Structure 1
Amino acid sequence: MAGHPFDEAIRLEADTARPGAVWHGATHEAYWNMVGPFGGTTAAVVLQGVWGHPERNGTPISLTLTYAAPFQEGAFEVHTQLVSATRSTQHWSVQCVQQGKAIVNAIALFAVRRETWAAVETCMPVVPPAAQIAVLDATRTRVAWVQRYEFRPLRGGFDRMADLEPQADSITEQWVRDQPARALDYPALASLCDVFFPRLYLRRGKVIPAGTVSLNIYFHADEPALAATGSEPVLGVARAGNFAGGFFDQFAQIWRADGVLLASTQQMVWYKA
């Protein structure tokens, strides 16, 4: 979508001396987090680096990122390398580099999907449709990226954080889409997988220093499934598994309104106390 802030945030320009292998990008103030850029846009940028490569074949199946160091505001490079390939799969190595230092290491698997037997064992929660849920007023938050999404919280959303009370669980259920609305594609889906604040905030009832150190995204949707979603809200469901030793995991699912599972994701998060 021309002119959309998300597209501006993930825009990459090919290096003329190393086309395809090196891309130039820059952080965007509209998707700034408390410290550094929003991790969802970082995942989208990594995906963009492969998507625009002339040797890319197929669509993303999985994406794994480790956040090695904090981004600084400004320019960065995305380095892509095709590690190995078969007739239907490609394994890519990707690095985000800033001032000569690797900030993000990533592995992406792309593949040509084919018609096979299919089944879904997990089920989408039974929730009211998005149209029946009020939109969260995100203008009061000081974190820029939150204002780039339309949140309709059902359970454990940003509105619950205002209570400053510990919760019995870390479950979040919320309808969400880009703000302004934007047709869903793979970079946007990757970014949506990280729109959940740290589960620790809900359990402890307060903001505690925390940061994602690794992020895994599994793409279940093919291109027709994304096209059918359009710019409609999707349901994001997240919870944690275990808090211990200064790290916790949180996992999530992104559902289309008609019950199609678009993506699932898991991340490991460092926390201070």
Structure 2
Amino acid sequence: MSTPHVFDTAIALQPQGDGVFAGSTSPAYANMIGPFGGITAAQVLNAVLLHPDRLGDPIALTINFAGPVADGPFTIRPRAARTNRSTQHWTVELLQGDEVLVTATVFTAVRRDTWTGDESQMPDVPRAPEVPVTPRHGVEWLRRYEMRFLEGSIPAKWDGAVRDESLSRMWVRDHPPRPLDYPSLTALSDVFFPRIWLRRATFVPIGTVSMTVYYHADAAQLAAAGTSHLLIQAQGQGFGGGYFDHAGQLWDEQGTLLATTHQLVYYKE
């Protein structure tokens, strides 16, 4: 019997009845304080995916981090707020004790066969095998990913140098490799380090407030990607008043746009 992938162990949930699930944070995805936000988002999405009343596949997820998640057990409560013929709207809460720490909405739907076209095109970059693996240092969750930076890596020196832009591009996949699916795509949408660090080369405290992922690929397209690398990029948009946002895109090796993401992050001077 094969050992489960560390990601699958981390997002595993146990039904508690009445559509409620129990889970726990994973030391393998530990961040500086609490868990990596991407794994929490994947756990929240997985609760909807496991719910017996789910209709269709994920189209959009918005997760709001209302408070810090402590290491240890938690409860996730997904609820279908409305179900139509081919669409479904979910509200989700993650709790530790009686305290709500995460709120989320998930939109699922049965996809239809329609015209398809992407305006967001994958940039012309060297293929993943041509790019060296970037050494992984620091917090534990970084060891769960194979990253190959093309540009916009974390600053080599925290010298306060101000850049004109905060664009990062890299090839990335789970480490060890794992077949792509909706939970892993969700976590991969959060592997970007804070844009404020790249824009100013200053190590300021940060915290993600809200993250949205739009899923452009169906389950068959994700399965076709298999364990190959994804090309991902992110760039900041507005900075000020203690908050900034970034927009990001994720493509498979064939240039298919799999997901887009938007994130709002708190920072402190």
Give the shorter-chain TM-score range: over 0.9
Q: CA deviation at 1:206?
A: 2.5
Structure 1 vs Structure 2 CA RMSD = 1.1
| Counterparts of 1:213 and 1:241, CA distance in 2 | 16
Alignment CA distance shift 1:93-1:2 (3 Å):
farther
Q: CA deviation at 1:204?
A: 1.2
Matches within 5 A, 1:111-122: 111-122=109-120
Aligned to 2:55: 57
- Structure 2 residue 192 is the aligned partner of structure 1 residue 189: no
| Counterparts of 2:157 and 2:115, CA distance in 1 | 46
| Counterparts of 1:207 and 1:236, CA distance in 2 | 23
Unaligned runs of at least 5 residues, structure 2: none
| Counterparts of 2:46 and 2:140, CA distance in 1 | 22
Matches within 5 A, 1:145-164: 145-158=141-154, 161-164=155-158
**Alpha-carbon deviations, 1:14-37, whole Å to 9, x = none?**
00xx24x21000000110111110
Runs of 4+ in structure 1 off by over 4 angstroms are none
Q: CA deviation at 1:117?
A: 1.2
Amino acid at match of 2:217: A
Unaligned runs of at least 5 residues, structure 1: none
Amino acid at match of 1:163: K
Aligned to 2:127: 129
Report the identity percentage.
45
Q: CA deviation at 1:163?
A: 3.1
Q: CA deviation at 1:3?
A: 1.6
Q: CA deviation at 1:108?
A: 0.1
| Counterparts of 1:47 and 1:260, CA distance in 2 | 22
**Alpha-carbon deviations, 1:164-189, whole Å to 9, x = none?**
35333100000000000000000000
Aligned to 2:211: 215
Matches within 5 A, 1:1-273: 2-15=3-16, 18-19=17-18, 21-138=19-136, 141-158=137-154, 161-165=155-159, 166=161, 167-273=163-269
Count matched residues: 266
| Counterparts of 2:203 and 2:8, CA distance in 1 | 30
| Counterparts of 2:255 and 2:85, CA distance in 1 | 32
| Counterparts of 1:255 and 1:222, CA distance in 2 | 13
**Alpha-carbon deviations, 1:128-165, whole Å to 9, x = none?**
00010000111xx220111110000000123xx22335
| Counterparts of 1:69 and 1:221, CA distance in 2 | 31
Give the 3-state SS of the residue equivalent to 2:106 in structure 1: strand
